[in-house]
A and B are shown apart, each in its own frame.
Chain A
């Protein structure tokens, strides 16, 4: 049972992945997102080093074009 919470939803099978693997699996375009990981913004180049663990809380924001 995973306790990783992403955008307010409990997500199964996310622990033991890296953040980058999760983002790619879910189809996020890495150049168009910002990720807050346990309250801290994560630089894009660090996505591959972040190992998701039980208790993690992530906020992933995707941007769409227009302004």
Chain B
């Protein structure tokens, strides 16, 4: 029987997880996390030809060769191989973009293209994926460092520029999927209008309406145009007396990141 253990092909006669554990990690089995085809289990499940098994010793830093298999072990089988080949742009690295970038990096999207002109300042920390140590840095550079700490097996390219009507098409020329994650409505409209008139148009996943603390359930993903998916409640704008906060911005960013993942896996419905 041919199986994969920690990313390496093995031929084995062993038939269940406890035998595999004993055979490959003779130490204390309590200290082992066992993941079978994306599902973590403590049970002695039967194994079959073609199964992917990941065994992780808690508290141990794995060898580099096993580390990538361990990082992606909880994904649904087949997903990692597909997202690893993908390239996705994130336009704007604020509350939406920083959360989208982190989610896509954790998912293993092979190449992320990050675009933002601004620096990290203290009022960003209420909802954006930065820390005290990033204050004053360009968001592109701060996020690139952060993503390297989360998933070193993806490549990240950055452009520290403001997106304009003049540079938009060239800037995103290599990106088949672009996340619109800007703050200002004019910037959102500019990106959508510039990129959707390009030929061929990319798929764009945007956000509009996620301020305040209204119900999470009003935030939706809708396919509003052939190549444009819009997440948010489309109404609650940031305004005096209604700020942007981590939970609801995170809900919207999650919608966007999940729509990107769906597109990468061939699901075009919202």
Seen from chain A, the residues whose Cβ lies within 8 Å of a Cβ on chain B are 29, 31-34, 36, 39, 41, 43-44, 59, 61-67
Contacts and interface: CB of A to CB of B under 8 A. Distances in A.
Interface of B: 92, 94-97, 181-186, 188-189, 192-193, 196-197, 201, 206-211, 224-226, 228, 230, 234-239, 244, 249
Contacts of B207: 67
Contact of B189 (A32, A39, A59, A67): A32
B14 to A, nearest CB: 51
Contacts of A59: 224-225
20 contacts: A34-B189, A34-B192, A34-B193, A34-B196, A36-B225, A36-B228, A41-B192, A41-B196, A41-B201, A43-B193, A59-B224, A63-B188, A64-B185, A65-B185, A66-B210, A66-B211, A66-B236, A66-B244, A67-B207, A67-B244
B193 A41 contact: yes
Given A39-B226, A59-B225, A61-B230, A67 B94 contact: yes
B238 A66 contact: yes
Contact of B183 (A33, A41, A62, A65): A65
B197 A41 contact: yes
Of A36, A39, A43, A63, the most chain B CB neighbours within 10 A belong to A63
Contact of B209 (A29, A36, A43, A66): A66
